[in-house]
Amino acid sequence: MLKKLILLALAGAVGTLLRYGLAGLVHRMNGVSFPWGTLVVNICGCFAAGLLWTVFETRWPVSSQVRTVVLIGFLGAFTTFSAYILETGEMARSAAWGLAAANLFLQNALGLVALFAGATVGRLT
C-alpha cells in the first residue's frame, strides 16, 4: 500500500508540473482574457484518458495498480477541473456571461469529443 501511495504521489507531481507548464505556455501565447491554458489542458487530459483507458483495455493489459497510478495519479493531477470551475465562476461573478457560457460549452463539448477521439485512437493502435 505504501508503494502505491508513493507512486500516486510521484505521478501526481509529474501531472501537476506538466499542467503548470502547458497552461502557462498557452496563457503566454494567447493572453489571459479567456482561460485557454485550462481549456487546452482539459482537452488534452480528456484525449489522454480516452486513449489510455482504451489501450489498457485492449492492447496493453496492465495491472489495476498501474491504471490507478496513471489515470488517477498522473491524469488526475494533470487535468484542471477545479481551475475550470473557478475561472468560470470568476467570469460569472464579473458578469462576463458570454465568456462563462463559452467556457462551459467548450470545456464540456470538446472534452467529450476528445475522450472519444482518444478511445478511437486507442483502438487503432
- pLDDT of amino acid 32: 85
| Angle, CA 120 vertex, CA 115 and CA 124 arms, to 5° | 145
φ and ψ at 42, to 5 degrees?
-65, -40
At a CB cut-off of 8 Å and minimum separation 6, what does 105 contact? none
Question: What pTM, to 2 d.p., does this model score?
Answer: 0.84
Domain boundaries along the sequence of the chain: 2-124
Per-residue model confidence as pLDDT tens digits over 37-73? 999 999 999 999 999 989 998 999 999 899 999 999 9
Q: Please list the ranges in the chain whose pLDDT falls under 70.
A: none
d(CA 23, CA 86): 15
CA-to-CA separations, 59 to 67, 95, 97, 114, 117, in angstroms, rounded: 13, 48, 44, 20, 16
